[in-house]
Chain A
Amino acid sequence: MQLDILTPEHKIYSGNVYGVQLPGIEGSFEILDRHAPIIASLGKGRMKVIIDKNNTEVYEISGGFVEMVNNKASVLIEDAVAVN
């Protein structure tokens, strides 16, 4: 599935991924390939981009939104800090 992570200042990530783990305001959840259309609000926590089995990227975020439609996920956040 296609994943775009956008902030007002720049695009953090854009590419094909296996899935993404997100901190929803009512608990963490994961969006995988062909997820049903969803719009969800995100809380404070860690976002994990699962590119493939061996590669992941983790970001600390403090709230935002995710929209998944037509196998294309867009994560909108105001700030994100990459965690190693």
Chain B
Amino acid sequence: MSGQLKEVRNRIKSVTSTQQITKAMKMVSAAKLRRAQDAIIQMRPYAVKLQEMLSNIVSSSSSDTDIKLADEREAEKVLLIPITSDRGLCGAYNINVIKLTRQVIKDKYASQQAKGNVSILPIGKKGFEYFQRYGFKVIDQYWSIFSDLSFDNVRNAAVYAQKAFINKEFDSVEIVYSQFRNAGTQVFVSEPYLPIPKVEKKAGSKNIDFIFEPSKTILIDELMPKILNTQLFKAVLDSNASAEGARMTAMDKATENANEMLRSLKISYNRARQAAITTELTEIVSGAAALQG
């Protein structure tokens, strides 16, 4: 009887310590999430202003400009950039990104994949490991961005994709990542990256008479790479925040589950304890009765 008691006690101890860990991890994620959200907010004015500049230039020019990065051609060679996290324990987050990437390949690029013309540029260790293990064509220079998350590092990957696109190594580039809504919600999307979608002229926008230095064409040529760098940076920041959000939710669930387990363990512990006491009492009483008898 006391053996069973001890076993339950040990289990209670181990569940309690696990719960402490998940609770701590939740708190750490919450702090990291706040920082990740902050980075998104810091980036926003830059991104907004960049877009504004572009539309100011485009809407004041009459002719369509020819942009190398917007060159639409038959998508024979494809590059996908799935963004996952470096660490696990964040629920279905990483697997959702991987699943969506496979889905995109199956739905849109099945024939290219059959010819071996789909390449993957994973960002984040989890995706890198997965795609390498399953024999995808992996470009393995940029997966470790999250170990030192800075604009510079992200820009290297963005510049690589742009150069490869201009050199016709790839005809189409897509980013697969998770947009950040709030701590509990992630929206997994596959976003076209290259060629750049045509910039719409804003109808009815006030036409300010700008001086363009040195010229509109050069300005657009210079702006486009910057916008692409920012787009990838935003995707990486969004993913980072999403991963922390997912981890926070997962750890919260784990803590709750541990609570549930502790409750039922405590019930069985008390039951075993009570049973042991009852047997002991019966033994004493019947022993005394036998002596008197």
Contact = CB atoms under 8 A, between A and B. Distances in A.
Interface in B80-117: none
B230 A8 contact: yes
Contacts of A10: 42
A58 interface: no
A36 B211 contact: yes
Given A39-B57, A41-B219, A67-B56, 6 more contacts: A8-B230, A9-B150, A9-B151, A25-B213, A40-B214, A69-B210
Interface in A45-75: 63-65, 67, 69, 74
Interface in B221-257: 222-223, 226, 229-230, 233
B45 A41 contact: no
5 contacts: A8-B151, A36-B211, A63-B222, A65-B219, A76-B46
B49 interface: yes
- Which bucket holds chain B's interface residue count? 20 to 34
B219 A79 contact: no
B210 A6 contact: no
Given A37-B210, A38-B210, A74 B49 contact: yes
A41 B214 CA distance: 7
Contacts of B42: 9-11
A67 B46 CA distance: 12
A8 B234 CA distance: 9
B151 A37 contact: no
For B56, B213, B229, which residue has the most chain A Cβ atoms within 10 angstroms?
A: B213
Contacts of A37: 208-211
B218 interface: yes
Contacts of B52: 67
Contact of A39 (B43, B56, B152): B56
A10 B43 CA distance: 6
Interface of B: 39, 42-43, 45-47, 49-50, 52-53, 56-57, 150-152, 155, 208-214, 218-219, 222-223, 226, 229-230, 233
B151 A41 contact: no
Interface string A8-28: 111100000000000011100
10 cross-chain pairs, A with B, having the tightest CB-CB distances, nearest first: A40-B213, A38-B211, A6-B46, A8-B151, A10-B42, A37-B210, A37-B208, A41-B222, A8-B43, A8-B46
Given A39-B212, A41-B214, A78-B229, A8 B222 contact: no
Contacts of A9: 39, 42-43, 150-151
A2 interface: no
A7 B151 CA distance: 9
A39 B46 contact: no
A78 B155 contact: yes
Contacts of A39: 53, 56-57, 210-213, 219
B212 A40 contact: yes
A79 B222 contact: no
A26 B215 CA distance: 11
B153 to A, nearest CB: 12
B232 to A, nearest CB: 10
A67 B57 CA distance: 11
B222 A65 contact: yes
Contacts of A11: 42, 45
Nearest to B60: A39
